[in-house]
Amino acid sequence: MSTIAELTVPAEEFALCQTLEATEDLDVEIERVVAYDPGHVMPYVWFAGDESTLAELDPLLEDDPSVEEYELLTDLDDECLYRLNWVDNVTVMIHLLTEEKATVLDASVEGQQWRFRVLFPERDSLSSTYEFATEQGLTIDIRKIHQMEDNRHSRYGLTDSQYETLVEALERGYYQIPREMDMEHLSNELDISHQALSERLRRAHRTLVEEVIDVGKEEDESA
C-alpha cells in the first residue's frame, strides 16, 4: 500500500544550515520537479523574504558549505529562484529518500529543520529508508504517516503549515466579506512575518487550485 510520510531532518545534517543561521524570516521551498537522477531531485530552490534579506543571499550561498554552485534564475523582488548544485553529503541524503523508488512531493524549511513529504510505493520502503538513515547516523524524525488510499484528497497536497494557516485564516474571518481580520493582524496572531504569511497563503492557494483542477479532470474522464 502506498504511503505518504512527513519527515523532518535537521538543517545541520542536510542543507543550508549556515545560510539559515545568518538570516531571519527567510522562507525556503523546493520547486518540485520530476527527476530520475537522485542527484538532481531538488536543484531549484525558492527563497522568499524582505529586500534586505534577499540581498544577502549570494554571499551567503557562496560561503555555505552545503552548496557547491549556485545560479540566480528569477528575481521577483520578494522571492528568488535559484538553481543549486549540492555537495556530496546533501546528495547522499536525497539518495536515501529516493533509492526506494520514493518521490519527494514537497521539501521546505521550518526554523532549522527541513520538512519533507515523501511518497513511498509501500510501507516497507519507508522502514528501510529510516533504518538505513539511522545506521548512517542521520536524524530523521517521522512526524506523520498517511496511507495513500485513505488520504489522497484529505488535504489536497497542502503542507501542514499551509493547512493550519488556511484553517486559522478561515476561523478568524480572513475570508469573510468584508474581512473580519486583515493580513497584518492574522500574521500577528500566527506569530509569523507579514511576508511569510503572504507567501504561505499564495502557495497554499496555488496548490488548492492545481489539485482541484486535477480532481475535476479525473471526474470528467470517469463520467
Average pLDDT per consecutive 10 residues, the chain (223 residues; last block may be shorter): 81 90 87 54 84 91 93 91 86 69 80 85 81 82 70 61 86 83 89 88 81 46 41
What pLDDT is recorded for position 222?
42
Residue position matching grid coordinates 542536510: 14
Cα 4 from Cα 150, distance rounded (Å): 11
What pLDDT is recorded for position 72?
95
What pLDDT is recorded for position 63?
95
Cis bond upstream, residue 38 (ω within 30): no
What pLDDT is recorded for position 73?
93
Question: Whose CA is closest to 208, among 172, 162, 142?
Answer: 162
User: Are 216 and 222 spatial neighbours (Cβ–Cβ below 8 Å)?
Assistant: no
- Distance between alpha carbon 206 and the CA centroid of its chain, in Å? 14
What pLDDT is recorded for position 116?
86
Cα 96 from Cα 103, distance rounded (Å): 11
Strand partners, 141: 8
Angle at 29 between CA 23 and CA 32, to 5 degrees: 160
